[in-house]
Amino acid sequence: MDIRELLVTRDIVMQQVGVLKTSQKRVLLSLASIVFIIQGCDTATAPSQKYSSEEVSSIYSKIAKRYLERGYLKSDASFQDASLTADILARNFELIALHDEYQLRRGRFVASQTPAKVRRWHVPIRMKLHFGASVSARQKSEDIKDILEYTARLERITGHPISLAEDDINFNVFIINAEEQQAAGPMLRETLPGIREAVVRAVTNSPVEILCAAFTLPNARTYEYAQAIVFIKAEHTGIMRRSCIHEEFAQAMGLVSDSREARPSVFNDDEEFAMLTYHDELLLKILYDKRLKTGMSISEARPIVRLIAHELVDEIYVQPIPSEGKQSPARVAQEEASS
């Protein structure tokens, strides 16, 4: 396998036959009938080089090793990790919950930082887990335990009901490997009738650079979520696998974007934190506060968000602490490429 992956934070830079491809850790798409939203890649529907599951496992193992060697993928965060005031929290909420990063235009996903309206779930989440045959019984048991513990946490944070179900499913989770991913078209069409082919291709052609993904379908009139799909690549192990679960489920709850200004947060482009942090919990509390209404614009939501943020944060202020050794992904990748 003639590939050398240069990984630093959420930006993943892979070198394949001398060609650099850049992407981000996860993709989130809105499946609305008019406008699709995507985060994480330049052309998610474009065909990419296909790797076997064994090759993908090797690549992801090296990725995890690189992250950990650089001190990334922290599993917890304290108030000493960064400053947090009500104003900072409100700003981060606006950046993460009320902006989209990519849109589908003329059949192609393009980068476009776009203001968005408040979106969240109103109906109870009825979740079903779909495991590929490649997932061992032991790993399946561990995944179910991790997912149930995490969704119980999300339910406590948001007050929104989340449960496993066998019918009336509106939240499908697929944990499949590379070969199963490439053959997933019929399964996706059966799971979500009417799904756009651009979205099917985004999954079946998902490149190795995209580690995991979340897809949501909001009602075009009310902006309430009606369906969601979470896609976890089965080649992940350990903390990378749990990190994908943490971020994608929270993305599918309505925290749709990323910001380099948000810290400590799993929604930052540097992968310093692998798991949902206290900062992220506060963002979810704001999103699911009943004073916010779905469909609100940024200007409509802003004064309410600031009020809630002040209620949640007692003006905690800690001088920002530089993240030692955590340079920008592009800079580190360039240094490695030239070394």
What does the pLDDT read at residue 6?
30
What does the pLDDT read at residue 320?
44
Label residue 268 by pLDDT band (50, 70, 90).
confident
Strand partners, 105: 108
C-beta of residue 100 within 8 angstroms of C-beta of residue 39? yes
Q: Which residue's entry shows tokens 């019918």?
A: 167
Label residue 177 by pLDDT band (50, 70, 90).
very high
State the average pLDDT over residues 113-117: 89
**Among 204-218, 226-240, 283-297, whose mean pLDDT is lowest?**
204-218
Pairwise CA distance, residues 270 & 118, whole Å: 25
State the average pLDDT over residues 250-264: 92
What does the pLDDT read at residue 197?
85
Share of the chain above pLDDT 90, in %: 55
For the chain, how far is it from start to end, CA to CA, in angstroms? 21
State the average pLDDT over residues 223-250: 96
In the chain, domain spans: 3-322
Label residue 49 by pLDDT band (50, 70, 90).
confident
What does the pLDDT read at residue 109?
53
C-beta of residue 139 within 8 angstroms of C-beta of residue 322? no
Q: Which residue has the higher pLDDT, 1 or 70?
A: 70
Q: Which residue has the higher pLDDT, 233 or 43?
A: 233
Sign of the C-alpha dihedral computed for residues 303, 38, 193 and 248 taken in this order: negative
pTM: 0.81
Residue 150 to residues 145, 226, 310, Cα–Cα distance (Å): 9, 21, 27
Label residue 272 by pLDDT band (50, 70, 90).
confident
Q: Is a pLDDT exceeding 50 seen at residue 61?
A: yes
Query: What residue type is 150 in one-letter code?
Result: Y
Give the mean pLDDT of the chain. 79
Label residue 193 by pLDDT band (50, 70, 90).
confident
Q: Is a pLDDT exceeding 60 seen at residue 207?
A: yes
Report whether CATH 3.40.390.10 matches the domain 3-322. yes
State the average pLDDT over residues 287-298: 98
Q: Is a pLDDT exceeding 70 seen at residue 229?
A: yes
